[in-house]
């Protein structure tokens, strides 16, 4: 191997050794996307379930590498340094590559359902949601005993729940689909109205609410429909 090739390999190896675990780059992306975050905000906002001890360990490692710094004050928070900000461009390229080439993992929905709920929440068009909150209850064909909930309301941040939020029963829409169909909706590869029309998604509840579900999510980008 040439000297330049060896140096590149060593640099790549160092990056993988320091940042190649499940959580480090997710922490970097969260801070780069949302700005400074407190420990509790990171613990609850990261996709998946991270223990507080693991998060503390990853933050210490990122601080040691100079990727993250801790802002002191009445409300301590973590932020990306200039070194950390330099990771955002390659992270964006990695995400684009994954969206293009990596298939969905159906098992992920059962393993980390809050990730799927987060994707659905990102596609909500808050300006077109009802004034009063509506609860979308999802049931999957493969696991009929498991349910997930997404709460939407005009102007409010949508949020997912792994337990029933127990809001007004008249404001629930009950949705059932396969895991692939739900992932296609969450990623914006399938239109809600089309999914309801072709039967890959079924709905029950107040007819007035059911008829408007498709309006509460951003339209599918041109050319993004599932083949």
Residue 6: CB atoms within 10 Å: 10
- Chain segment 116-141, per-residue pLDDT in tens: 899 999 999 999 999 999 999 999 98
Which residues, at least 6 apart from 128, have a Cβ–Cβ distance to it below 8 Å? 154, 215, 216
Predicted confidence (pLDDT) at residue 115 exceeds the cutoff of 90: no
Nearest alpha carbon to residue 88 among 39, 27, 135, 3: 27
What is the spatial distance between Cα 92 and Cα 90, in angstroms, rounded to a whole number? 5
pTM, to two decimals: 0.63
Residue 226, pLDDT score: 44
What lies within 8 Å, CB to CB, of 50 at 6+ separation is: 23, 43
- Tens digits of residue pLDDT in 65-76: 999 999 887 788
* pLDDT tens-digit series, residues 103-112: 778 888 888 8
Helix (H, G, I), strand (E, B) or coil at 91: helix
What 3-state DSSP class applies to 120? Answer: helix
């Amino acid at each position: 191997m040439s000297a330049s090739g060896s140096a590149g390999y060593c640099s790549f190896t160092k990056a993988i050794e320091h940042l190649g675990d499940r959580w480090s780059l997710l922490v970097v992306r969260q801070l780069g996307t949302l700005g400074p975050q407190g420990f509790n905000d990171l613990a609850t906002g990261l996709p998946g379930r991270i223990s507080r001890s693991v998060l503390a360990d990853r933050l210490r490692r990122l601080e040691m590498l100079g990727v993250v710094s801790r802002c002191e004050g009445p409300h301590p928070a973590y932020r990306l340094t200039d070194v950390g900000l330099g990771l955002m461009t390659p992270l964006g390229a990695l995400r684009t590559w994954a969206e293009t080439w990596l298939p969905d993992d159906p098992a992920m929905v059962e393993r980390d359902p809050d990730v799927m709920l987060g994707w659905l929440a990102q596609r909500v068009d808050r300006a077109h949601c009802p004034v009063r909150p509506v609860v979308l209850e999802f049931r999957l064909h493969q696991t009929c005993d498991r349910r997930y909930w997404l709460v939407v309301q005009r102007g409010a941040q949508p949020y997912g729940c792994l337990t029933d939020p127990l809001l007004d029963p008249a404001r629930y829409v009950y949705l059932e689909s396969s895991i692939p169909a739900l992932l296609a909706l969450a990623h914006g590869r399938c239109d809600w109205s089309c999914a309801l029309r072709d039967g890959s998604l079924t709905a029950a509840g107040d007819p007035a609410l059911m008829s408007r579900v498709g309006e509460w999510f951003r339209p599918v980008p041109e050319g993004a429909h599932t083949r």
